[in-house]
A and B are shown apart, each in its own frame.
Chain A
Amino acid sequence: MRISILVQSDPFTTANGELALRFAQSVVHSNHDLYRVFFYKQAVSIASKHAIAPQDEMQLTEMWIDLARKSKVELIVCVAAGQRRGLVQTVLADEFEIAGLGQMVEAMIESDRTVTF
């Protein structure tokens, strides 16, 4: 099954950033096709290379990067949501790409399931 994920919750004030990552890892390990992960609204802050979590906390950005390298899944950050929050190409972490909302709608159309966090 082809699955896409929309992540839009603030990773610092909700557990949804971690839940989205765990779900994405499960999709990959279950041999489903993880088509695209789209970061929107406050969730775009996950894609900043300057955001470093304390050592005793989950390194969400690093874990997303690791998943992308192993599974080749696209990690897309919304350009408008990113710019609004100061997240531009120069501060983007490895493996993340900036694109428009059309990429999310296209993912919805191309995937069998879309899951929102």
Chain B
Amino acid sequence: MKSVLYLVSKKASLTANETVDMMLVSGVFEQPCSVVFIDDGVYQLFGDMMLVRTKDTSRALSALPTYGIDRLYADNQSLYERNLQFASCHLSFQTIDVSEITQLFNEHDIVVTD
């Protein structure tokens, strides 16, 4: 089974929801998946910050572990640059640095960007 790394680099939006939909279908197919949030993509981990309902992907993201996708990572530098605190996030993820992201690229067969 081919493994997939989803690389999320954009803020929440309707198209971001479509990326989450693809992750969920990967989960249904029991495809080994990891998700890396980088750049503005890290905002998606912190929910409905703008109080705009259509821009909220956090509810869909919180369903990922139910579909067997529990390897969620966030780029340390991207969190730091945006002053986002790990503690204020209700989703469970691991912070990693660029070298570890490179390692994830090597470990997966397919990379899907958003």
Partner-B contacts on A (CB < 8 A): 6, 8, 40-42, 80-81, 84, 100-102, 104-106, 108-109, 111, 114, 116
Q: How many residues from B make CB contacts under 8 Å with A?
A: 17
Could you name 14 residue pairs across A and B whose Cβ atoms are closer than 8 Å? Answer: A6-B112, A40-B22, A42-B15, A80-B21, A101-B25, A102-B25, A102-B29, A105-B26, A108-B2, A109-B1, A109-B2, A114-B112, A116-B112, A116-B113
Decide if B96 is an interface residue (CB 8 Å cutoff): no
Decide if B97 is an interface residue (CB 8 Å cutoff): no
Complex CA gap A104/B25 in Å reads 9
The contact of B21 among A6, A42, A101, A114, by CB within 8 Å, is A101
Q: Are A106 and B29 in contact (CB under 8 A)?
A: yes
Q: Are A109 and B18 in contact (CB under 8 A)?
A: no
B67-114 residues at the A interface, CB under 8 angstroms = 110-113
Complex CA gap A76/B2 in Å reads 21
Q: Are A105 and B1 in contact (CB under 8 A)?
A: no
